Amino acid sequence: MPRRAALRKPLRIAILAILLLLATALALWRISKLPCWQMVGAVTCRVETDEKIVALSFDDGPTPEGVDAVIDELARRRVHATFFLIGSKMERYPEQAKRLVAAGHELGNHSWSHGHMVGRSQAHYRAEIARTDALLRAAGVARPVLFRPPYGRRLFGLPLAVEQQGYRSITWDVADDVGRHPTPAAYARDIVARARPGSIILVHPMYRGNRVERAAVPLILDGLAAKGYRIVTVGELLKREKPE
C-alpha cells in the first residue's frame, strides 16, 4: 500500500470519531432540554385532564421587584401560583419568600445557585437541593416536593438526586419567549393562546430586565380567565393526575 493511503485511513477514522462525539454531545444537549421527557426518572410538564384548569408558575428570585409586581395582581384575582425559588436569592431576601407563603402561594425548589446541572457530581446536586430545601422550610413550607431544574436542563444525575431527596421534577408545556413577543400584550396573547387544559405555564418576572413579563402578568391572568380557565398551583393541578 502506498504510504499516503496508509495514513489516510487513520485520519478518516479520527475524523469520523470526532464527528460521532460531536453528534452525541449535540443529541444529549437537546435531550437535556426536552420539557416532557427525560432519560432517568419521571418529569411532569403538564397533566392530562379535560377540566379547564392550568397551573401558573414563576421562576427565579425571589426579588423584591418581582414579588411586588405579581403578589397584588394574584391577590386581586384570588389566584394562587407556584414560585420556584433559588436558594441563594432566598438567603438574600428571606422576607420575600415568607411573604409568598403568607399570601397562600406554593413554593418550589429551583436549586441553590441556578448553575448548569449537567455533568456535576451527586454530592453537588444533593447540596444544591438540600440547602434550598432548608430555606424553603424556614420560610414556612412544611414539606417541599416540587423541583424545577435551572434552564429546564437535566440528564442523568440531577433527576436521580431529585427523586432520592423526595422531590418531583416539574417542567412546563407553555413557556415565555420575550424575544418573539416584545410587548406585554403580544407576549400575554401568545401564552394564553398556547394554554390548554392541564398546562403548566412558566413566566419569569423576577429580574430587573423582565419588564415585559411583569407587565404581562395581569394580562395573562385576565386572558386565561376570559377563556374560562381556572388558575391553580402546580400542587393543586397534580391532584388531577390519573393513576398509571
Q: Cell 416532557 maps to which residue? A: 36
Q: Grid coordinates standing for 206?
A: 423576577
Cell numbers standing for residue 159: 433527576
**Which position among 43, 59, 129, 171 is part of the footprint of Zn ion (CB under 5 A)?**
59
Q: How far is the CB of 59 from Zn ion (least distance, A)?
A: 4
Min dist. Cβ of residue 111 to Zn ion (A):
8
For residues 92 and 130, is the Cβ–Cβ distance under 8 A? no
Rounded Cα distance between 165 and 8, Å, is 52
CB of 15 to Zn ion, least distance (A): 38
Q: Which string of x and - marks every residue 140-169 that binds Zn ion (by CB under 5 A)?
A: ----------x-------------------
Q: Which residue has the cell 380567565?
A: 225
Asked whether position 106 contacts Zn ion by CB under 5 A, the answer is: no
Contact pick of 44, 46, 57, 60 for Zn ion (by CB under 5 A): 60
Nearest approach in angstroms of CB 179 to Zn ion is 16
Return the number of the residue (108 or 150) whose C-beta is nearest Zn ion.
Answer: 150
What Cα–Cα distance (Å) separates residue 175 from each residue in 50, 56, 180, 181, 217? 21, 10, 12, 12, 13
State how far the Cα of 30 lies from the Cα of 158, in Å rounded to an integer. 16
- Contacts to Zn ion by CB under 5 A: 59-60, 150
